Structure 1
């Protein structure tokens, strides 16, 4: 990643093992296979991120790629706003969550063009912005390419604990998808599902529909179970989803809903969806239209099933959203306050 014209394509081509060649500016994202030793079973993929995208598009791409390694390319021989540009790109890494899950390297590109940029100055910038490594390279002359390639391969290699976590995560994800299909087919399947499983089901369904989803911890979740984000007219929108699944037939009352409304108001979300598989008490229904002006809706068993059915149709390629995602999220729900 980096500014337009900094040499991302040429460097990616070199890292993939090909010879240097002039390239046009990248639009969107391109991928390359990183050259690794012959005995490696898995070869890392380099995603080259175009800089012409909007901020929301860049953040969305970074979240989707979920990279193990992030390379920020700079051209210190021509960049007069080097500090500001590094700061701006670092904010993308932080806001997308890439900052916490990846090894980040600051790479000076096109060093064959002359100009002097000492390692000391580059290392000072790397320390200031908490990069894990510093490299000076030239895709044209191949200087620094092997060193950078080796560092990327090593950083991308999963550790044993990461492999174990990934395996568990895949099993949990597969189970949630399977349960989502069961609920879509038979609403009575909800009666056999535990509360945490339902939270995962809703997260899976919203992700398939098109939201960027975060499933909060099972305890101390701050009053919301799922955080769903989407872009609306190039603006990032955030929605909280609270899920109650009390199989004994108990139903959430006014206090539960009021707390959720207040949470959305406090956090200045773009709306909230309170789902209950057993419905709500009469006291809640009596407060519809009176609790808050914040966009909060109630969803019952039917709404849960509907979201699961959207997941199945999307999975089968038989359905694509034809309305803005917030409208889809709030479809077939009750309005608390003004929409």
Structure 2
């Protein structure tokens, strides 16, 4: 676990809107507000978990931070430098420091390239290593992620899903980045393989001093790997806390609902556990509710919630929540 207070990444009022196209014509009045004014800090060496329902904007936030997407507005500070508006050429130095592990390892790997070519591509682009040095590094990287030197000549289709994800991880760490966006890196894998991949990510973090933004649906796995966790709902962060604090004392009604939905393996404990079901569907990001955007599904909503958007406030030590109940 990370004890550093050094801020590696800070985002301020980050927004990413997607224009809606009708018959290939953009309608600038109607937009999907995928990320709508998010501010947070990610400390050097930590794993910051990001959770929420499908469509809440988790992956869009991660891809905006790494500038895979051009943002609509806001600031992204990486080691103190604002990279929010840099062009692709100026971003090259930062792309080396920020890498991504994608959800689907098969679609993120070029099927026409073998393992050596896949991992050599970023090495050839971002380093001055000779061909011999690069091959030696590729062999070392494969061993680090639990694969063999002999796997260099194989193609992605010759591997299982878990092995393909290991190739993706080897590719991501090849140029020694400081920050890695883990964009639901285990959701496409068998349950038996998920724990192996997460444990490997933790080992690599310790060896290489990596910082992770870990986006996932699996709340129990996020608790296991994360130092701090942010809960996202409809483009906004509604709660941020240390991992154990969030799970033991959740504050926001939405967080409570998400956590109560985690399956309990003990039948007796399951019967005793009160489940707070989140009712209704998540509203459209095109037509976001006024006030607190969770009020349409919240059992504690008042008139104030319907008209005034709550501000993020620190309720306990490093435990922030955006809710009128506090």
Higher relative contact order (CA 8 A, sep 6+): 2
Question: Shorter-chain TM-score: what band?
Answer: under 0.3
The normalised TM-score by structure 1 is 0.26
The normalised TM-score by structure 2 is 0.27
Q: Which structure would you say has the larger Rg?
A: 1
Question: Which is richer in helix?
Answer: 1
